[in-house]
Homo-oligomer: A and B are copies of this chain.
Amino acid sequence: MTDPKVLASGIAEAAAIDAADPLARFAERFVPNDGVIAYLDGNSLGRPLRVTAERLGAFVADDWGGRLIRAWDEQWMGLPFVLGDRIAAATLGAAPGQTVVADSTTVLLYKLMRAAVDARPGRHEIVLDDDNFPTDRYVAEGIARERGLRIRWLHVDPARGVEPAQAQEAVGPDTALVVLSHVAYRSGFLADADRITRIAHDAGALVLWDLCHSVGSVPIELDDWDVDLAVGCTYKYLNGGPGAPAFGYVARRLQGELEQPVQGWMGARDVFAMGDGFEPGDGMRRFVSGTPPVVGMLAMQDMLALIEEAGMPAIRAKSIALTEFALRQVQERLVPLGVVVATPLAPAERGSHVTVRHPAFRAVTARLWEEGVIPDFRAPDGLRIGLSPLSTTFAELQRGLDAIEAALTDARGDAPGAPQSAGPAGAAGAARASS
- Interfacial residues, chain A to chain B (CB-CB below 8 A): 30-31, 33, 35-36, 39, 41, 44-45, 47-48, 52-54, 56-57, 59-61, 64-66, 68-72, 76, 103-107, 109-110, 130, 133-135, 137-139, 141-143, 146, 235, 241-246, 261-268, 272-278, 289-299, 369, 374, 376, 378-379
Taking a contact as CB atoms under 8 Å apart, the answer to whether A242 and B290 are in contact is no
Closest to A110 in B: B262
21 intermolecular pairs with C-beta atoms under 8 Å apart: A31-B60, A31-B65, A41-B69, A44-B69, A45-B69, A53-B61, A54-B57, A76-B242, A76-B243, A104-B289, A104-B290, A105-B290, A106-B290, A110-B264, A138-B265, A141-B277, A142-B278, A146-B261, A242-B291, A274-B379, A293-B296
Whether B139 contacts A69 by the Cβ 8 Å rule is no
**With A and B bound together, what is the CA distance between A299 and B334 in angstroms?**
45
Copies of this chain in its oligomeric complex: 2
A-B pairs, 4 with minimum CB distance: A104-B290, A106-B264, A106-B290, A31-B65
Central interface residue in A72, A76, A105, A278, by most chain B CB within 10 Å: A278
- A68, B36: Cβ atoms under 8 Å? yes
B41 engages A135 (CB within 8 Å): no
With A142-B261, A235-B291 known, 15 other A-B pairs at CB within 8 A are: A35-B66, A45-B64, A45-B68, A47-B68, A104-B264, A104-B289, A107-B289, A107-B290, A110-B289, A139-B263, A139-B264, A142-B278, A242-B295, A274-B378, A295-B296
